[in-house]
Amino acid sequence: MSAVRVLHVNSERGWRGGEHQTLLTLLGLRELGVDVALAARRGGELARKALGCGLEVFQIRMRSGFDPLAAWSLARAARGFRAELLHLQTPHAVSLAALAALFGLRARLVAARRVDFRVRSAWKYNRCAAVVAISSAVRGALTAGGVRKDLIRTIPSGVPTEVEEPGDVAGLRRELGCMGGPLIGAVGALEEHKGYAYLLGAMPAVLRAVPEARLVIVGDGALGPALSAQAAGLGIEGSVVFTGFRADAQRLLWAFDVLVAPSIKEGLCTTLMDALVRRIAVVAAETGGIPEVLADGRYGVLVPAADSGALSAAITSVLTDQERRGRLLDGAAQWIRERFSVERMVRDTLELYRELAD
């Protein structure tokens, strides 16, 4: 029996980590018997996937966080679902819920915060019953931005930890146009804070040490043309593959010998968790919540952010030192299962709901 009726709200059009986490949370809560529904951007990828999973979805035209028509529609959806609690999964969703109060929204609010960027409007978070930070780094950014400490709960993101290796990994490598040498992978939106310019800057030194290596960057974004131009300017375009957006990005992970997360800022990074569950070695910038995923370097190589030289040295070491790679992966999958499973995330989320309902 459900303890509370919860409407999750996500305003994003595309499909990134936050949208995947929203869907995983909804499905996990439904499995535990919680009455859940989703309010999402009309025509967006999350709405499409949620409908495909049989979830109740209210599709809303959301132009911004201060869109009166969207706020009215959200208040109407909350009343239609008889929501007792709104779980706001994006900053714009938090803004819309604040505006929806003018249209009669009375449900209690839980806001999720997934990035360690500076908080610009603490007031909208401080009017919530709770604010969920996905890492200690995000918690610190919230408090530094003026969000009340007593409102913040830390619930790390989670990933599926029981994964099955595809039968044809060699086929994946052929699909990526890379058969001979080791593959270096990177997955995420092509945005400045993801640090891909520094990863490309590291590649000439990596290729001098391991000429047969190839870099595969999975994702799309505004920086795509600039990054392609940078690769050409460095003379490494023949060793770099830009796949664009791939809905099967997690499947492609199996093809990689090492996954790199060169972020300048990062709330947590579930892609690193996905890699470790699959026993794929990782190199990552020591920023945001990344050290929490890697147990401060026990299960991956941490390097300073925005440092191409450190990246190239770490990537080369992991590619060429098989013994070191084995040490880094020893116990890593179990660490993720214990600390960052979807099941744990969902249980902790439900516990928060019940606490707020008391």
Is 130 in the same domain as 191?
Answer: no
What are the distances in angstroms from CA 18 to CA 38, 98, 113, 156, 248? 14, 21, 10, 12, 16
Is 149 in the same domain as 193?
Answer: no
pLDDT at 1: 37
Q: How many domains in the chain?
A: 2
Task: Name the average pLDDT for the chain.
Answer: 96
275 within domain boundaries: yes
164 within domain boundaries: no
pLDDT tens-digit readout, 92-106: 999 999 999 999 999
CB 35 within 8 A of CB 3: no
Which CATH number covers residue 248? 3.40.50.2000
Is 147 in the same domain as 231?
Answer: no
163 within domain boundaries: no
Is 192 in the same domain as 123?
Answer: no
Q: pTM here?
A: 0.94
Q: What is the mean pLDDT of residues 218-225?
A: 96
The DSSP result for 248-279, as a single string, is: THHHHGGG-SEEEE--SS-S--HHHHHHHHTT
pLDDT tens-digit readout, 113-149: 999 999 999 999 999 999 999 999 999 999 999 999 9
158: helix, strand or coil: coil
Is 121 in the same domain as 261?
Answer: no
Q: What is the mean pLDDT of residues 212-225?
A: 96
72, 252, 67, 249: which is closest to 171 by C-alpha? Answer: 252
Question: Which residues does residue 10 pair with via DSSP β-bridges, in sequence order?
Answer: 40
pLDDT at 3: 66
Backbone angles phi, psi at 186, to 5 degrees: -145, 135
328 within domain boundaries: yes
Is 125 in the same domain as 184?
Answer: no
Rg over alpha carbons for the chain, rounded to the nearest Å, is: 21
Q: Give the 3-state secondary structure of 2-61.
A: CCCEEEEEECCCCCCHHHHHHHHHHHHHHHCCCEEEEEEECCCHHHHHHHHCCCCEEEEC
- Could you list the residue range(s) of the whole structural domain that residue 321 is in? 169-339
As separate numbers, helices (DSSP H) first and strands (DSSP E) second, the chain gives 16, 13
284 within domain boundaries: yes
Cα separation of 95 and 314, whole Å? 41
Q: What is the mean pLDDT of residues 327-353?
A: 97
CB 142 within 8 A of CB 171: no
pLDDT tens-digit readout, 24-34: 999 999 999 99
135 within domain boundaries: yes
Cα separation of 323 and 87, whole Å? 45
Question: Length of the chain in residues, anyone?
Answer: 358
pLDDT tens-digit readout, 149-177: 999 999 999 999 999 888 888 889 988 88
Q: In what order do the strands lie in the sheet with 85-88?
A: 57-60, 35-41, 5-10, 85-88, 108-113, 130-133, 152-154
pLDDT tens-digit readout, 299-339: 999 999 999 999 999 999 999 999 999 999 999 999 999 99
Is 75 in the same domain as 153?
Answer: yes
Is 53 in the same domain as 103?
Answer: yes
Q: What is the mean pLDDT of residues 76-82?
A: 98
Task: Name the amino acid, one letter, at 236.
Answer: I
Q: What is the mean pLDDT of residues 41-60?
A: 97
313 within domain boundaries: yes
pLDDT at 167: 81
Q: What is the mean pLDDT of residues 256-277?
A: 97
Element holding 104 (H helix, E strand) = none
Q: In what order do the strands lie in the sheet with 240-244?
A: 240-244, 214-218, 183-187, 258-261, 281-285, 301-303
pLDDT band at 108 (very low <50, low <70, confident <90, very high): very high
pLDDT at 92: 95
End-to-end Cα separation, the chain, in angstroms = 16
pLDDT band at 354 (very low <50, low <70, confident <90, very high): very high
Is 84 in the same domain as 105?
Answer: yes
Is 180 in the same domain as 281?
Answer: yes
Is 198 in the same domain as 325?
Answer: yes
Is 152 in the same domain as 16?
Answer: yes
217 within domain boundaries: yes
